[in-house]
Amino acid sequence: MSEESKPSSVSANAEPTATRSTVPMWIITVTLTLLFLGFVFFDKHSGWFDANVYAPYSSSEELEAAQPKSGAAAAIAQGKKNFETYCGACHGADGMGKPGQAPTLVGSEWVVGTGMKRLIHIPLAGVGGPLKVKGQDWNLAMAAMGAGLSNEDLAAVLTYIRGSWGNHASEVTADDIKQVRDALGKSPQPYTMEKLMAMPE
């Protein structure tokens, strides 16, 4: 290592010199790209610093949409709960019924009938004796299992069974229940298939 091998301009005690050179284009490009991607990420995921918005939501609207529903959806959720409590033991939580205990509600003409008069009478008054359900003969008895529910709650149960498991029938309202309940009066006799068939669907 001899002194002569160093370039003459860089001697050990030379003053440091500041030099300038232009920032390479690629650094500018990469920086701007990262900033841009960072901004896109912020825009998509931050909820714009709204303290009410947290992962994985990205806006207060989206958060709102994930909240428990009000109105119809809430009624159906309530209907499912009441169905499982008051009807599921016999008809099954899946509505399929149980051999020797209760017929199916899935695709049953009593459940999905275009009107709902017959259907509403069944839980309000009960039904007994020979009953045909989807071509199958039953001969059991069901008490007025829905009579203790409020009009709203029974409407929600019936809306739930008319719209679940592949059933696609219209909603039942609390008013529909009220009309039948008022007409039936207190402690009505259980219905038979003949009596049910005698009224409009």
Contacts to ligand HEC by CB under 6 A: 86-87, 89-91, 102-105, 108, 110-111, 119, 122-123, 127-129, 131, 133, 138-142, 145-146, 157
Burial call 74-98: b when 16+ CB within 10 Å, e when fewer: ebbebbbebbeebbbeebbeebebe
**In the complex, what is the shortest distance from the CB of residue 164 to ligand HEC, in angstroms, rounded to a whole number?**
12
Identify whether the C-beta of residue 161 lies closer than 8 Å to the C-beta of residue 83: yes
Least Cα distance to 156 among 81, 56, 49, 60 occurs for: 81
**In the complex, what is the shortest distance from the CB of residue 66 to ligand HEC, in angstroms, rounded to a whole number?**
30
> What whole-number distance in Å separates Cα of residue 201 and Cα of residue 196?
8
**In the complex, what is the shortest distance from the CB of residue 187 to ligand HEC, in angstroms, rounded to a whole number?**
17
Q: Which is nearer to ligand HEC, 53 or 196 (CB)?
A: 196
Q: Which is nearer to ligand HEC, 53 or 159 (CB)?
A: 159
Q: Which is nearer to ligand HEC, 129 or 188 (CB)?
A: 129
Q: Which is nearer to ligand HEC, 128 or 188 (CB)?
A: 128
Q: Which is nearer to ligand HEC, 53 or 157 (CB)?
A: 157
Count CA within 13 A, CB hemisphere, residue 136: 15
- Residue 13: phi and psi, rounded to 5, are -110, 25
**In the complex, what is the shortest distance from the CB of residue 145 to ligand HEC, in angstroms, rounded to a whole number?**
4
> What whole-number distance in Å separates Cα of residue 125 and Cα of residue 133?
18
**In the complex, what is the shortest distance from the CB of residue 196 to ligand HEC, in angstroms, rounded to a whole number?**
9
